Amino acid sequence: MRLRGLVLMSPFWAPALAIAQAIAPPAPYFPARGEWARRPAVEVGLNLALVDSAIAFAKAAESAAPRDLEAAHWQSGFGREPLPEPLGLFKPRGDLTGIIVRNGYLVAEWGEPDRVDLTFSVTKSFLSSTAGLAWDRGLIPDLHARVKDLVTTGEFDSEHNAKITWDHLLRQTSDWEGTLWSKPDWSDRPPANVPIEQYRQRARNEPGTAYKYNDVRVNALALALLRVWRRPLPEVLKEFVMDPIGASDTWEWHGYRNSFVEIDGRPTISVGGGAHWGGGMWISARDQARFGLLTLHRGRWAGQRILSEEWIAQALTPTGPQPTYGFMNYFLNTGQRQWPSAPASTFCHLGNGTNAVCVLPDYDMVVVLRWIRGNAVDGVLKRLIEAAGPTP
């Protein structure tokens, strides 16, 4: 019977309860600031020889692009775009680097895990998190509402742009038109097989109907979020995400030399959503891994709710025109198209370089890979999955 919410149990049930408590899984481990407990591979259920094989595979697959990232910019497709000039800072990168986390514990690291390097479009996952924080707090009441309803400063005034919602921007399906920080939208990754003047005059896609990876539009989202928050986005991220998850104070989030706007009478920089033209988030692999662990736990950290479960669920929902993309920059393994060796539940925060923060929920694992060839990521994940063996 129940009495004042308590259950009176027969003493015969006590041994069964004790056994159940004894075999209950331990509470998830979250590293405190400045600390990260290590566990040997075997203690977290990984085959050491296969983990070593994965690390050796990664080390043999370093990116062939120049370590001077500004030189790499000019040698890449970005350097051949119509308006390729950098607007933000670059710096040389460090060594090929990686981290393996299982059950929250550090299992292996290589390279320079504490070095602060550009993370390119992994920045977008931090940017979208500031949108999630705004949505969780009601600053953005409806992701399917028009951005124009909250942002009235002109960036969303055209007939086409007035239709764009927050969801469209987060999924890169807005086809936003305009020029921001001296970069017109058409100058970013124009199709090689279409004359640029023809591409500039093309009919716009209805928002939500076509996917196009475009950093000008990402920067339009960053500016819109700055106008909603009325404070620099790095301050928002630090207060509500990075400090609560114990990240270091070494990360930096840069804008461009010309991306200042006035917010409540103060010149305020609007940060970039990547390093297409320099800038963006500069961060260590250790701090990347903490962010990956946060998203593995669907926005929860050591009993504290950082991002809502509902937000993470939306971020992991496939985009109609591009089912392997969620909210920026959650790349999904829908149909195992991105990483055939990994479960469909796998997702990675991806950026040029390659920078990859991969989350494998089926294996309670986070894998950070920096300055690796993109086509080698699946091979690393494959070996780590084999090291973990069959899922329960």
Q: What is the pLDDT of residues 200-225, one digit of tens each?
A: 999 999 999 999 999 999 999 999 99
What is the mean predicted confidence (pLDDT) over 72-86? 96
Residue 353 dihedral angles phi and psi, to the nearest 5°: 135, -50
Which pairs with CB-CB distance under 8 Å and at least 24 residues apart come from 44-49?
A: 44/102, 44/103, 44/105, 44/107, 45/102, 45/388, 45/389, 46/102, 46/107, 46/384, 46/387, 46/388, 47/386, 47/387, 47/388, 47/389, 48/387
pLDDT of residue 12: 45
At residue 27 the predicted structure's pLDDT band, cuts being 50, 70 and 90, is confident
CATH of range 41-388; options 3.30.950.10, 3.30.530.50, 3.40.710.10, 3.40.50.300: 3.40.710.10
Please give the mean pLDDT across all residues of the chain.
94
Cis peptide before 329 (omega within 30 of 0): yes
pLDDT of residue 50: 98
What is the mean predicted confidence (pLDDT) over 40-51? 98
Q: Residue 228 in contact with residue 135, Cβ under 8 Å?
A: no
pTM for the predicted model, two decimal places: 0.93
Domain residue spans of the chain? 41-388
Q: Are strands 97-102 and 105-110 parallel, antiparallel or unpaired?
A: antiparallel
Q: What is the pLDDT of residues 141-198, one digit of tens each?
A: 999 999 999 999 999 999 999 999 999 999 999 999 999 999 999 999 999 999 999 9
Q: What is the pLDDT of residues 114-131, one digit of tens each?
A: 999 999 999 999 999 999
